[in-house]
Amino acid sequence: MSRITACFQALSAEGRGAFIPYLEAFDPDRATSQALLEAMPAAGADLIEIGIPFSDPVADGPVIQASALRGLRAGVTLAAVLEMVRQFRKNNTTTPIILMGYVNPIEIYGYDRFCCDAVKVGVDGVIVVDLPPEESGILKIPAERYGLDIIRLVTPTTTEARLAYILTQASGFVYYVSIAGVTGTHFADSHDLQKAISRIRTVTSIPIVIGFGVRTPQHIQEAVAIADGAVVASALLETLAETLDHNGRSTERTLPAVLEQIKTLAQAVQKSRN
């Protein structure tokens, strides 16, 4: 059984949803980013999403854009992101790791090579924002060969016909993009969310996770009450950015501040246990 499936089964037995915090690789530097990654499970992360910085993140709002730029300035490469996961796996063999990014760095790295290396270092799934199912054959074939889940995105604009098409290809979990817009803007209306998640559940039995716009403990409680998990990204990156010095370097407040917020969010998810 994959780490992702095992994780959702265990949480389901516990009667609660998954909390998935996000970090951008190398934001603001390699060491801080690695330390944050390694401290996340103890702070309450059930799964972890790592952003692969890209120069032109068209689906992201200003917070993730700035974060990606800091990562790039710190010298991040796709190979270095994989190395972060390899390090992480030395002490953690259970927390699923999902990489999220844009297609070009993966295309340049090579699809087959990427899937092979990702699985080897212990990556469990990958979300490629600008690779819709129509174009994803190039990634799907090697991903299946090496056993890497491609996490599919469903959005408020996804039609019935597309929903069925997308979900026949989904593995691991489904990522529901809760708003039509870029990351880090507003939280969706919970009635709309309820309707959207029910619609997806009629087509698939794999776990559904809500992302985009989940910022506060209250949001995440609402989200995990409706779906099987939720991702918090921009809110954490914002906290991280606030702790940096005027040169954009990490300070002694950086790690504690982000981890504190992760703990608060994790507690909110714990409380939602039914």
Partner 1 sequence: MTKQIQSDACSLRQQPDDRGYFGGRYGGCFVAETLMPLVQDLALAYKTAKADPSFQRELTHYLTDYVGRPSPLWFAHRLTERLGGARIYLKREELNHTGSHKLNNVMGQILLARRMGRTRIVAETGAGQHGVATATVCALFGLKCVIYMGSTDIERQKPNVFRMRLLGAEVVSVTAGKGTLKDAMNEAMRDWVANVKDTYMLIGTVAGPHPYPVMVRDFQSIIGTEARDQILKVEGRLPHSVVAAIGGGSNAMGMFYAFLDDSSVQLVGVEAAGHGLDSGKTAASIERGRSGVLHGNRTYLLQSRDGQIEETHSISAGLDYPGVGPEHAWLHDIGRVQYVAATDEEALEAFQLCTQMEGILPALESAHAIAYAMRVAPTLSKDKVMLLNLSGRGDKDIFTVARYLGVKL
Which residues carry out catalysis?
Answer: 49, 60
Rule CB under 8 A: choose which of 40, 123, 166, 266 binds partner 1. Answer: 166
Phi, psi of 73 (to 5 degrees): -65, -30
Pairing between strand 125-128 and 18-24? unpaired
Map the footprint of partner 1 across residues 48-107, applying CB under 8 A.
Answer: 54-59, 61, 65, 72, 77-79, 103-107
In terms of Cα–Cα distance, which of 95, 91, 94, 145 is closest to 115? 145
Q: Other C-beta atoms within 10 Å of 153: how many?
A: 20
111 lies in the site for partner 1, by CB under 8 A = no
Rule CB under 8 A: choose which of 9, 94, 120, 132 binds partner 1. Answer: 132
3 state DSSP class of 49: strand
Residue 78 near residue 53, CB atoms below 8 Å: no
Query: Of all helices (H) and strands (E), which one includes residue 24?
Result: strand 18-24
How many amino acids of this chain bind partner 1 (CB under 8 A)?
A: 39
Residue 213 near residue 232, CB atoms below 8 Å: no
Least distance to partner 1, CB of residue 57, Å: 8
248 lies in the site for partner 1, by CB under 8 A = no
Cα distance between residue 235 and residue 214, in whole Å = 8
**With respect to partner 1, which residue has the nearer C-beta, 19 or 54?**
54
Task: List all residues 6 or more positions away from 103 whose beta carbon is below 8 Å from its beta carbon.
Answer: 128, 129, 130, 131, 135
Rule CB under 8 A: choose which of 91, 157, 202, 247 binds partner 1. Answer: 157
**With respect to partner 1, which residue has the nearer C-beta, 166 or 265?**
166
**With respect to partner 1, which residue has the nearer C-beta, 103 or 121?**
103
Least distance to partner 1, CB of residue 135, Å: 6
Half-sphere exposure of 146 (CA within 13 A, CB side): 22
Q: What is the 3-state secondary structure (H, E, C) of 39-81?
A: HHHHHCCCCEEEECCCCCCCCCCHHHHHHHHHHHHCCCCHHHH
181 lies in the site for partner 1, by CB under 8 A = yes
Residue 159 near residue 195, CB atoms below 8 Å: no
- Residue type present at position 7: C
26 lies in the site for partner 1, by CB under 8 A = no
**Which residues, in sequence order, are bridge partners of residue 154?**
176
**With respect to partner 1, which residue has the nearer C-beta, 38 or 130?**
130
Least distance to partner 1, CB of residue 109, Å: 7
**With respect to partner 1, which residue has the nearer C-beta, 11 or 193?**
193
Residue 255 near residue 37, CB atoms below 8 Å: no
Rule CB under 8 A: choose which of 154, 233, 259, 266 binds partner 1. Answer: 154
Rule CB under 8 A: choose which of 34, 155, 190, 239 binds partner 1. Answer: 155
Least distance to partner 1, CB of residue 128, Å: 9
Least distance to partner 1, CB of residue 107, Å: 6
Give the interface with partner 1 as residue ranges (CB under 8 A).
Answer: 54-59, 61, 65, 72, 77-79, 103-109, 129-132, 134-135, 153-159, 162, 166, 177, 180-182, 185
